[in-house]
Amino acid sequence: MPQATWPTVYPTYPFYSYYPYYAGSAVPPVTAYGPLPPSGAVVPGVPMTEEQMIAEQSYVENILRYNKGKTATFYLTYENNREWNAMVIRGVIQTAGRDHIIVSDPETGKRYLLLMVNLDYVVFDEPITYIAPKVPPYVQMYLEESREG
């Protein structure tokens, strides 16, 4: 009975990962293009591409930043909390980050640090400032074609 033979030399393919692997070293790996920055890091001196700026515009944190200084009502829920599983906070938007919102109550002077994970929705008393993301040209063409046909 013939035995199967396996090649002793396997073809190699370049492997690219979005996640750096440090293998116990505190030094980031170096590629042909230089050292890899940590995941999600902004590289100083390198401007964001238009696609990156468009993607940034659609996040809740950015919409809240566009509306800094406006009064709004924030509806939040806290699961498994018998004392207050729902909370409503009204105040002026000071700032917003990826995972938080800072709101001040003009009547009491208190400032609230709210977590995005608990945020259900926000109601504004005035029009919302919103910069609609641009649609890439190839998507715009597809949308126009689908309307015609």
Our count of domains for the chain comes to 1
Distance CA 113, CA 116 (A): 10
Give burial (CB, 10 Å; 0-12/13-18/19+) of 17: exposed
**The predicted structure's pLDDT at residue 71:** 97
Three-class SS of residue 2?
A: coil
| In a domain? residue 39 | no
| In a domain? residue 44 | no
| In a domain? residue 14 | no
> Domain of 122?
50-149
| In a domain? residue 21 | no
pLDDT over 80 at 20, yes or no: no
| In a domain? residue 117 | yes
| In a domain? residue 22 | no
**The predicted structure's pLDDT at residue 140:** 80
**For the domain that residue 69 is a member of, what is the CATH number?**
2.30.30.100
**The predicted structure's pLDDT at residue 57:** 59
- What are the helix (H) ranges across the chain? 50-57, 60-66, 137-148
**The predicted structure's pLDDT at residue 99:** 95
Distance CA 116, CA 90 (A): 15
| In a domain? residue 23 | no
Lowest mean pLDDT among 31-45, 58-72, 118-132: 31-45
| In a domain? residue 38 | no
pLDDT over 90 at 76, yes or no: yes
Chain segment 123-144, per-residue pLDDT in tens: 999 999 988 777 788 888 888 8
